[in-house]
Amino acid sequence: MDQAEQLRNIVKKNQQSTQKARVFTVTSGKGGVGKSNVVVNLAVQMQKQGKKVIIFDADLGLANVEIMFGAIPKYNLSDLIYRGKTIQEIITPGPLDIGFISGGSGITGVNNLSKEQLKFLVSNVAELDALADIVLIDTGAGISDHVLEFVMASPEILLIATSEPSSLTDAYSLLKALHRNPEFQQSQTKIKVISNRVTTEEEGTGIYEKLNAVVGQFLKGNLEYLGMIPQDTAMERAVRQQQPVSILYPEAKSTRAFEILTNNLLEGSTIPLQQKKGIMQLFSRFIYKKS
């Protein structure tokens, strides 16, 4: 049996498990739109609702999540791949016992790993399905190959955008790269827009409508609107204090917005249960490309 066949068998064995984490990949067309801030506050709200959440910081080389949590991880993904640490050893506990995995700086992209490294990674990452109800993947910004690796493989994508023209343009560029990739499976992917740093609800829906209109016209696709996060000085103060606003200022208007977004995510439409593949939904794509 060759290595590619062994990798496929790992995926099949994991997909037979009844426990599947729900996976969201959070992305944006550009940096500076508050993506990682959205990730940590969604995690807080999900944890408050009794869900076990693990954040996978796939923004390799940067440390946005750990900065916002005010925690320094002892190990990261590089330690798992290159130094034999287990998946549980590289999970750093954050506020409310939210776990997060730092990407580290020693990996340039999952597709650049050897078959043996990928096999080891897959075997360990599969354990997250048993350790978490929800896995939030925090990608880097932009449309680099590494970002598209995760976005392409994810069944549920949260796209963060602001009203700035550059944010809208770059968000569309990411969506265009996604839809024009021949391996993108539109029917099996839900893309939900979160409008950030808006002053009114109308501004939030306007961001979504602009993106959805061009996606429908030029890419023959469609987006869903999850909701908006208002511009809030309380959130700015929380960022400076390296704490999620949902913990530091529970009565803030942005905290309330994250509560609503979380309810919309957990109670709204999702892929059918029988189609859920957990965290392996992402990594099976990388495995088959090694065949």
Three-state DSSP class for 192? strand
From first to last of its 291 residues, the chain has per-residue pLDDT tens of 454 555 556 555 555 555 688 999 999 988 889 999 999 999 999 999 999 999 998 876 566 788 888 888 999 888 988 888 999 999 999 999 999 998 876 565 666 777 778 778 877 888 898 899 999 999 877 787 778 888 888 889 999 999 999 999 999 999 999 999 888 889 889 999 999 999 999 999 999 999 999 999 999 999 999 999 999 999 999 999 999 999 999 999 999 999 999 999 998 755 544 445 567 656 666 655 655
* CB-side neighbour CA atoms (13 Å) of 188: 15
Three-state DSSP class for 230? strand
84: left (phi over 0), alpha (psi -120 to 50) or beta: left
Residue 140 and residue 28 in contact, taking contact as beta carbons nearer than 8 Å: no
Amino acid in the structure at residue 86:
T
The pair of three-digit structure tokens given for residue 238, joined into one six-digit string: 């929380």
The pair of three-digit structure tokens given for residue 223, joined into one six-digit string: 């987006």
The pair of three-digit structure tokens given for residue 145, joined into one six-digit string: 């190959």
Measuring CA to CA, how many Å separate 228 from each of 109, 110, 208, 213, 225? Answer: 31, 32, 10, 18, 9
- 8-state DSSP, 8: H
Task: Give pLDDT, residue 6.
Answer: 56
Task: Give pLDDT, residue 273.
Answer: 41
Measuring CA to CA, how many Å separate 136 from each of 33, 48, 64, 91, 206? Answer: 17, 15, 14, 13, 26
Task: Give pLDDT, residue 222.
Answer: 95
Rounded CA separation 24/157 (Å): 6
> φ, ψ for residue 279 (rounded to 5)?
-65, -20
